[in-house]
Amino acid sequence: MKKSTVLLIYTGGTIGMIKDSETGVLKAFDFDHLYDQIPELSRIEATLKAISMDPVDSSDMTPKKWQEIARIIEENYEAFDGFVVLHGSDTMAYTSSALSFMLQGLKKPVILTGSQLPIGTIRTDGKENLITAIEIAAQKNDSGASIIQEVAIYFEYSLYRGNRTTKVSANAFEAFKSPNYPDLAVAGVQIQYNHGAHLTSTSNQLRVYYGMNEQVALIKIFPGFSPNVYTGMFDTTAVKGIVLETFGSGNAPKNGEFIALLKKYIEDGGIVINVTQCVSGEVVQGKYANSTFFNEIGVVSGRDLTTEAAITKLMFVLSNYESREDMEYYLSHSMAGEMSV
Protein backbone atom coordinates (compact mmCIF):
# COMPACT_ATOMS: atom_id res chain seq x y z
CA MET A 1 0.00 0.00 0.00
CA LYS A 2 1.25 3.47 -0.89
CA LYS A 3 2.47 5.57 2.02
CA SER A 4 0.15 8.31 3.20
CA THR A 5 1.36 11.87 2.81
CA VAL A 6 1.01 14.26 5.73
CA LEU A 7 1.60 18.01 5.73
CA LEU A 8 2.82 19.58 8.96
CA ILE A 9 1.88 23.22 9.43
CA TYR A 10 3.85 24.99 12.14
CA THR A 11 2.14 28.10 13.54
CA GLY A 12 4.27 28.59 16.65
CA GLY A 13 3.93 27.47 20.24
CA THR A 14 5.93 25.56 22.80
CA ILE A 15 6.20 22.38 20.76
CA GLY A 16 8.46 24.03 18.20
CA MET A 17 10.96 25.37 20.71
CA ILE A 18 14.47 24.17 21.54
CA LYS A 19 17.01 25.65 23.92
CA ASP A 20 19.85 27.57 22.29
CA SER A 21 23.10 25.83 23.21
CA GLU A 22 24.89 29.15 23.76
CA THR A 23 22.34 31.43 25.37
CA GLY A 24 19.95 28.90 26.94
CA VAL A 25 17.03 30.87 25.49
CA LEU A 26 14.11 28.99 23.94
CA LYS A 27 13.80 29.57 20.20
CA ALA A 28 11.87 28.05 17.31
CA PHE A 29 13.81 25.30 15.56
CA ASP A 30 14.19 24.97 11.80
CA PHE A 31 11.54 22.56 10.59
CA ASP A 32 13.77 21.65 7.65
CA HIS A 33 15.70 19.68 10.28
CA LEU A 34 12.65 18.03 11.81
CA TYR A 35 14.16 14.54 11.61
CA ASP A 36 17.25 15.75 13.49
CA GLN A 37 15.07 16.77 16.43
CA ILE A 38 12.74 13.75 16.27
CA PRO A 39 14.55 10.83 14.60
CA GLU A 40 11.60 8.56 15.46
CA LEU A 41 9.68 10.19 12.61
CA SER A 42 11.75 8.23 10.10
CA ARG A 43 10.01 5.06 11.31
CA ILE A 44 6.49 6.34 10.64
CA GLU A 45 4.82 4.86 7.57
CA ALA A 46 4.08 8.26 6.06
CA THR A 47 5.77 10.80 3.84
CA LEU A 48 6.08 14.13 5.60
CA LYS A 49 6.44 17.69 4.44
CA ALA A 50 6.54 20.75 6.70
CA ILE A 51 5.45 24.33 6.13
CA SER A 52 6.35 26.92 8.72
CA MET A 53 4.16 30.00 9.01
CA ASP A 54 5.54 33.14 10.63
CA PRO A 55 5.46 31.68 14.15
CA VAL A 56 3.52 33.46 16.88
CA ASP A 57 2.79 32.77 20.51
CA SER A 58 -0.70 31.29 20.63
CA SER A 59 -1.82 34.30 22.67
CA ASP A 60 -1.29 36.30 19.47
CA MET A 61 -3.47 33.99 17.36
CA THR A 62 -6.02 35.90 15.27
CA PRO A 63 -8.72 35.18 12.65
CA LYS A 64 -6.21 36.27 10.01
CA LYS A 65 -3.95 33.42 11.15
CA TRP A 66 -6.91 31.03 10.98
CA GLN A 67 -7.47 32.17 7.41
CA GLU A 68 -3.81 31.54 6.61
CA ILE A 69 -3.99 28.00 8.01
CA ALA A 70 -7.20 27.34 6.07
CA ARG A 71 -5.60 28.66 2.88
CA ILE A 72 -2.58 26.37 3.26
CA ILE A 73 -4.90 23.40 3.71
CA GLU A 74 -7.03 24.37 0.72
CA GLU A 75 -3.98 24.85 -1.53
CA ASN A 76 -2.50 21.49 -0.51
CA TYR A 77 -5.70 19.51 -0.02
CA GLU A 78 -5.39 17.29 -3.10
CA ALA A 79 -1.67 16.60 -2.60
CA PHE A 80 -1.86 15.29 0.99
CA ASP A 81 -3.83 12.63 2.84
CA GLY A 82 -3.80 14.45 6.17
CA PHE A 83 -2.74 17.62 7.95
CA VAL A 84 -1.14 18.21 11.35
CA VAL A 85 -1.18 21.75 12.69
CA LEU A 86 1.43 22.46 15.37
CA HIS A 87 -0.02 25.13 17.62
CA GLY A 88 0.37 26.69 21.04
CA SER A 89 -1.98 25.14 23.56
CA ASP A 90 -3.47 28.34 25.02
CA THR A 91 -5.72 29.12 22.05
CA MET A 92 -5.71 25.74 20.33
CA ALA A 93 -9.39 25.10 21.12
CA TYR A 94 -10.32 28.43 19.49
CA THR A 95 -8.36 27.61 16.34
CA SER A 96 -9.70 24.07 16.07
CA SER A 97 -13.26 25.37 16.54
CA ALA A 98 -12.79 28.08 13.92
CA LEU A 99 -11.29 25.68 11.38
CA SER A 100 -14.16 23.24 11.87
CA PHE A 101 -16.56 25.90 10.57
CA MET A 102 -14.24 27.27 7.88
CA LEU A 103 -13.37 23.87 6.37
CA GLN A 104 -16.68 22.39 5.21
CA GLY A 105 -16.87 18.98 3.54
CA LEU A 106 -13.63 17.59 4.97
CA LYS A 107 -12.80 14.04 3.94
CA LYS A 108 -9.33 14.20 5.44
CA PRO A 109 -8.04 14.75 8.97
CA VAL A 110 -6.86 18.10 10.27
CA ILE A 111 -5.20 17.34 13.61
CA LEU A 112 -4.00 20.11 15.91
CA THR A 113 -1.39 19.29 18.50
CA GLY A 114 1.21 20.96 20.68
CA SER A 115 2.92 20.44 23.99
CA GLN A 116 3.35 21.74 27.50
CA LEU A 117 7.15 21.37 27.32
CA PRO A 118 9.41 22.34 24.39
CA ILE A 119 10.38 19.61 21.93
CA GLY A 120 14.03 19.92 22.97
CA THR A 121 13.30 19.24 26.66
CA ILE A 122 14.17 15.76 27.86
CA ARG A 123 10.74 15.24 29.47
CA THR A 124 8.81 16.82 26.61
CA ASP A 125 5.33 15.65 25.82
CA GLY A 126 5.77 17.11 22.35
CA LYS A 127 7.37 14.06 20.73
CA GLU A 128 4.58 11.66 21.61
CA ASN A 129 1.90 14.22 20.73
CA LEU A 130 3.46 14.93 17.34
CA ILE A 131 4.26 11.31 16.44
CA THR A 132 0.78 10.05 17.32
CA ALA A 133 -0.94 12.99 15.64
CA ILE A 134 0.93 12.15 12.44
CA GLU A 135 0.03 8.47 12.73
CA ILE A 136 -3.65 9.37 13.12
CA ALA A 137 -3.50 11.83 10.22
CA ALA A 138 -1.98 9.11 8.02
CA GLN A 139 -4.37 6.32 9.05
CA LYS A 140 -6.82 4.96 6.49
CA ASN A 141 -9.41 2.20 6.60
CA ASP A 142 -9.52 -0.89 4.39
CA SER A 143 -11.30 1.01 1.64
CA GLY A 144 -8.61 3.66 1.53
CA ALA A 145 -10.58 6.46 3.18
CA SER A 146 -9.17 8.48 6.08
CA ILE A 147 -10.40 7.20 9.44
CA ILE A 148 -10.66 10.75 10.79
CA GLN A 149 -12.46 13.19 8.51
CA GLU A 150 -12.75 16.28 10.69
CA VAL A 151 -10.81 18.87 12.67
CA ALA A 152 -9.51 17.36 15.89
CA ILE A 153 -7.09 17.95 18.75
CA TYR A 154 -4.61 15.30 19.84
CA PHE A 155 -3.07 15.76 23.26
CA GLU A 156 -1.73 13.33 25.87
CA TYR A 157 -3.09 10.05 24.48
CA SER A 158 -6.54 11.36 23.53
CA LEU A 159 -8.04 12.59 20.26
CA TYR A 160 -10.89 15.05 20.72
CA ARG A 161 -13.31 16.72 18.32
CA GLY A 162 -11.80 20.16 17.85
CA ASN A 163 -14.94 22.18 18.43
CA ARG A 164 -15.86 20.19 21.56
CA THR A 165 -12.57 20.76 23.32
CA THR A 166 -11.42 23.19 25.98
CA LYS A 167 -8.11 23.70 27.77
CA VAL A 168 -8.47 22.77 31.44
CA SER A 169 -4.92 22.93 32.80
CA ALA A 170 -2.04 25.36 32.42
CA ASN A 171 0.63 22.90 33.57
CA ALA A 172 -0.62 19.29 33.40
CA PHE A 173 0.26 17.18 30.38
CA GLU A 174 -3.42 16.24 30.16
CA ALA A 175 -4.26 19.82 29.31
CA PHE A 176 -7.49 19.36 27.36
CA LYS A 177 -10.91 17.82 27.91
CA SER A 178 -13.99 17.28 25.78
CA PRO A 179 -16.63 17.66 28.50
CA ASN A 180 -19.77 16.99 26.49
CA TYR A 181 -18.56 14.59 23.79
CA PRO A 182 -16.64 11.30 23.85
CA ASP A 183 -13.04 10.97 22.70
CA LEU A 184 -12.60 10.19 19.01
CA ALA A 185 -9.69 7.89 19.83
CA VAL A 186 -7.45 6.87 22.71
CA ALA A 187 -3.79 5.99 22.14
CA GLY A 188 -2.54 3.14 24.28
CA VAL A 189 -0.52 0.17 23.09
CA GLN A 190 -2.70 0.53 20.02
CA ILE A 191 -4.79 3.47 18.85
CA GLN A 192 -8.39 2.62 19.66
CA TYR A 193 -10.82 4.53 17.46
CA ASN A 194 -14.32 5.34 18.65
CA HIS A 195 -15.87 5.07 15.19
CA GLY A 196 -19.38 5.86 16.38
CA ALA A 197 -18.26 9.32 17.50
CA HIS A 198 -16.62 10.31 14.21
CA LEU A 199 -17.95 12.97 11.87
CA THR A 200 -18.32 12.15 8.17
CA SER A 201 -19.33 14.51 5.40
CA THR A 202 -21.69 13.63 2.56
CA SER A 203 -19.92 16.17 0.35
CA ASN A 204 -17.16 15.13 -2.01
CA GLN A 205 -15.65 18.58 -2.24
CA LEU A 206 -13.88 20.77 0.30
CA ARG A 207 -15.44 24.20 0.64
CA VAL A 208 -13.45 26.83 2.49
CA TYR A 209 -15.15 29.86 4.01
CA TYR A 210 -12.74 32.59 5.00
CA GLY A 211 -15.13 35.12 6.48
CA MET A 212 -14.84 35.62 10.25
CA ASN A 213 -16.47 38.71 11.75
CA GLU A 214 -14.37 39.96 14.67
CA GLN A 215 -17.07 42.33 15.99
CA VAL A 216 -18.09 40.01 18.82
CA ALA A 217 -17.92 40.29 22.59
CA LEU A 218 -17.88 37.90 25.54
CA ILE A 219 -19.65 38.76 28.80
CA LYS A 220 -19.33 36.52 31.84
CA ILE A 221 -22.10 36.92 34.40
CA PHE A 222 -21.08 36.96 38.08
CA PRO A 223 -22.65 37.92 41.42
CA GLY A 224 -22.64 41.71 41.61
CA PHE A 225 -22.56 42.01 37.81
CA SER A 226 -23.18 45.67 36.91
CA PRO A 227 -24.67 46.28 33.43
CA ASN A 228 -23.38 49.88 33.49
CA VAL A 229 -19.82 48.60 33.07
CA TYR A 230 -20.74 46.89 29.80
CA THR A 231 -23.02 49.41 28.07
CA GLY A 232 -20.46 49.97 25.29
CA MET A 233 -20.75 46.31 24.31
CA PHE A 234 -24.43 46.77 23.50
CA ASP A 235 -23.72 49.18 20.64
CA THR A 236 -24.66 47.36 17.42
CA THR A 237 -22.50 49.66 15.31
CA ALA A 238 -19.42 48.27 17.05
CA VAL A 239 -20.50 44.85 18.33
CA LYS A 240 -22.58 42.59 16.09
CA GLY A 241 -22.83 39.61 18.43
CA ILE A 242 -22.40 38.75 22.11
CA VAL A 243 -21.67 35.46 23.82
CA LEU A 244 -23.12 35.38 27.34
CA GLU A 245 -21.53 33.01 29.86
CA THR A 246 -24.29 32.40 32.39
CA PHE A 247 -24.78 30.32 35.52
CA GLY A 248 -25.69 26.64 35.51
CA SER A 249 -28.21 25.72 32.84
CA GLY A 250 -28.34 29.26 31.46
CA ASN A 251 -29.46 31.44 34.35
CA ALA A 252 -28.73 35.12 34.99
CA PRO A 253 -29.84 37.80 37.48
CA LYS A 254 -33.29 39.22 36.78
CA ASN A 255 -31.81 42.69 36.63
CA GLY A 256 -34.21 45.08 34.89
CA GLU A 257 -31.46 47.28 33.48
CA PHE A 258 -29.59 44.28 32.10
CA ILE A 259 -32.72 42.81 30.50
CA ALA A 260 -33.55 46.19 28.94
CA LEU A 261 -30.05 46.48 27.49
CA LEU A 262 -30.26 43.01 26.00
CA LYS A 263 -33.74 43.57 24.62
CA LYS A 264 -32.83 46.83 22.89
CA TYR A 265 -29.58 45.36 21.57
CA ILE A 266 -31.45 42.45 19.97
CA GLU A 267 -34.17 44.75 18.61
CA ASP A 268 -31.41 46.88 17.02
CA GLY A 269 -30.08 43.81 15.19
CA GLY A 270 -27.57 42.34 17.62
CA ILE A 271 -27.24 38.58 18.10
CA VAL A 272 -26.87 37.12 21.61
CA ILE A 273 -26.03 33.48 22.34
CA ASN A 274 -26.18 31.95 25.81
CA VAL A 275 -23.65 29.33 27.01
CA THR A 276 -22.97 27.93 30.45
CA GLN A 277 -19.98 28.75 32.61
CA CYS A 278 -19.93 25.14 33.79
CA VAL A 279 -17.28 22.80 32.43
CA SER A 280 -19.94 20.32 31.35
CA GLY A 281 -23.69 20.32 30.82
CA GLU A 282 -25.88 22.55 28.72
CA VAL A 283 -28.08 25.61 28.62
CA VAL A 284 -31.81 24.93 28.89
CA GLN A 285 -33.49 28.33 28.69
CA GLY A 286 -36.75 28.31 30.64
CA LYS A 287 -35.83 25.45 32.95
CA TYR A 288 -35.61 27.97 35.79
CA ALA A 289 -37.39 31.29 36.21
CA ASN A 290 -34.08 33.14 35.90
CA SER A 291 -33.68 32.13 32.27
CA THR A 292 -37.24 32.46 30.93
CA PHE A 293 -36.68 36.12 29.99
CA PHE A 294 -33.95 35.04 27.56
CA ASN A 295 -36.55 33.21 25.49
CA GLU A 296 -38.91 36.17 25.66
CA ILE A 297 -36.39 38.71 24.29
CA GLY A 298 -34.77 36.51 21.62
CA VAL A 299 -31.51 35.24 23.13
CA VAL A 300 -30.29 32.11 21.30
CA SER A 301 -29.60 29.03 23.43
CA GLY A 302 -26.08 27.73 22.85
CA ARG A 303 -27.01 24.39 24.42
CA ASP A 304 -23.75 22.53 25.14
CA LEU A 305 -21.39 24.66 23.05
CA THR A 306 -18.01 25.38 24.58
CA THR A 307 -17.22 29.07 24.91
CA GLU A 308 -14.50 28.65 22.27
CA ALA A 309 -16.96 27.11 19.82
CA ALA A 310 -19.62 29.72 20.59
CA ILE A 311 -17.28 32.64 19.92
CA THR A 312 -15.85 31.25 16.68
CA LYS A 313 -19.24 30.06 15.44
CA LEU A 314 -20.69 33.51 16.09
CA MET A 315 -17.81 35.06 14.11
CA PHE A 316 -18.48 32.61 11.28
CA VAL A 317 -22.25 32.99 11.18
CA LEU A 318 -22.14 36.80 11.33
CA SER A 319 -19.79 36.84 8.35
CA ASN A 320 -21.40 34.19 6.16
CA TYR A 321 -25.16 34.72 6.58
CA GLU A 322 -27.19 37.87 6.03
CA SER A 323 -30.67 37.32 7.44
CA ARG A 324 -31.31 37.19 11.15
CA GLU A 325 -33.44 34.08 10.60
CA ASP A 326 -30.49 32.23 9.03
CA MET A 327 -28.06 33.38 11.70
CA GLU A 328 -30.29 32.27 14.55
CA TYR A 329 -31.01 28.96 12.81
CA TYR A 330 -27.36 28.04 12.29
CA LEU A 331 -26.36 29.20 15.77
CA SER A 332 -28.95 26.87 17.29
CA HIS A 333 -28.23 23.87 15.03
CA SER A 334 -25.11 21.79 14.62
CA MET A 335 -22.93 22.71 11.64
CA ALA A 336 -19.79 20.66 12.33
CA GLY A 337 -20.69 18.40 15.23
CA GLU A 338 -20.11 21.21 17.73
CA MET A 339 -23.37 20.82 19.64
CA SER A 340 -25.77 18.04 20.56
CA VAL A 341 -28.88 17.80 18.40
**Residues labelled catalytic:** 14
The rounded radius of gyration (Å) of the Cα atoms in the chain is 21
Contact (Cβ atoms closer than 8 angstroms) between residue 276 and residue 245:
yes
Neighbours of 74 (CB within 10 A): 15
Instruction: State the DSSP code for 110.
Output: E
10 Å Cβ neighbour count for 202?
Answer: 5
CB atoms within 10 A of CB 273: 25
Q: Across the strands, what pairs with 93?
A: none
Backbone angles phi, psi at 37, to 5 degrees: -80, -35
Q: What one-letter code names the amino acid at 5? A: T
- Report the 3 state secondary structure along 300-338: EECCCCCHHHHHHHHHHHHHHCCCHHHHHHHHCCCCCCC
Cβ(69)–Cβ(94) below 8 Å: no
Cα dihedral 96, 101, 107, 111, rounded to 10, equals 0
Largest pairwise CA distance in the chain: 66
Q: Which of 100, 330, 341, 311 is nearest to 206 (CA)?
A: 100
> DSSP string covering 208-258, please?
E-------EEEEE--TT--GGGGGGGG-TTT-SEEEEEEBTTTB----HHH
41, with CB counted inside 10 A (0-12, 13-18, 19+), is middle
